[in-house]
Homo-oligomer: A and B are copies of this chain.
Amino acid sequence: MNAAPASKVYTLPEDLPLDCGQVLAGAQVAYETYGELASDRSNAILVCHALTGDQYVASKHPITGKPGWWERMVGPGLPIDTDRYHVICANVIGSCMGSTGPASPAPDGSPYAMRFPVITIRDMVRGIVALLDGLGIARLHAVIGGSMCGMQTLSLAANWPERAERVLVIASTARHSAQNIAFHEVGRQAIMADPAWADGDYYAADASPDNGLAVARMAAHITYLSEEGLTEKFGRRLQDRSSKSFGFDADFQVESYLRYQGSGFTQRFDANSYLYITRAMDYFDLAEEHGGKLANAFDGSSARFCLVSFDTDWLYPTAESRHIVHALNAAGAKVSFVELSAPAGHDSFLLPHKQLDRVVEGFIK
């Protein structure tokens, strides 16, 4: 990947304590903001990002040049209306777009690489809460997140309940299942099997483990899409040819698409960050953090919650959202829940969906 581009960067004034027992000294959190902060600081909305996302939620990605990953949702007059709200999106600790991660220099000046401590979702949120402190935002109007961002959203609501009035969790889960862990483990093994990974010490080398990272991305990408969505989009259609080649080129469109997803990803993402962030997701189990009972995580919460799932999402299926809703009910929290119909599987939260727009807009009003 290329060097991380400039973004707003907040250097934490204090050591960031981590769940593993270590601390990160001088950690930085890169972030973007959209819309004006009201004088009473009451209109801030935190939008978290997913595994391979970043802070460029509604502005052009500086490496790929592509639009922000949720431009259809965040902006003037859009469901998360930047004419009304001050939207903050921060790159998570462990990532590679300006926040401190394995590619960042350790205190000795060399990249952390695998010396970077193993972090958790709660550690990521700790970093973001420190940023909110730095920005003087005591209480968020809302925190919103899909997929891994939903985990952060839940973690913030559970561990810093005073920091958010509204909590919107989309296509997410309160714990990683065995199947979720299994897919991530395949990705990690693909990276680590790449000789260019070199035990993580590739930053000064000529090559980085792009082949392994691409395979990891390809495997993960399948889980983001539904079987029906793949069939509709590609079926068994051939790629730029009228008949099978009887070879190992990408004969099928779906092969070509996956290869493109894999190779494109390596341009913008660091393989070690992929290891650390998938590990954090696999470690995530909100109930375990709260005495084994998910309802405990939300005990006495005064926030309003909204859960959204998609009927074709097999990565974090509706049952996972329902599980969270039951826990919130048991904790006496205010919660609404909707399962939306969408053909595209897990990635539906990133795609145009009028009902999702209405849910988001209505919930944060």
Contacts and interface: CB of A to CB of B under 8 A. Distances in A.
A246 B178 CA distance: 18
Interface size class of A (residues with CB under 8 A): 35 or more
Given A175-B236, A246-B117, A218 B259 contact: no
B285 A231 contact: no
A32 interface: no
Nearest to A185: B255
A258 B118 CA distance: 21
A117 B283 CA distance: 45
A254 B193 contact: no
Contact of A181 (B176, B188, B194, B236): B236
A194 B195 CA distance: 8
B248 A275 contact: yes
A364 interface: no
Contacts of A219: 183, 186, 219
A252 interface: yes
In order of increasing CB-CB distance, the 3 nearest A-B pairs are: A193-B211, A178-B230, A20-B246
26 contacts: A117-B246, A118-B246, A177-B227, A177-B230, A177-B231, A177-B236, A178-B231, A178-B233, A178-B236, A179-B222, A179-B225, A179-B231, A181-B252, A182-B230, A185-B218, A185-B252, A186-B219, A186-B258, A189-B258, A189-B262, A190-B215, A193-B211, A219-B219, A236-B285, A244-B283, A248-B275
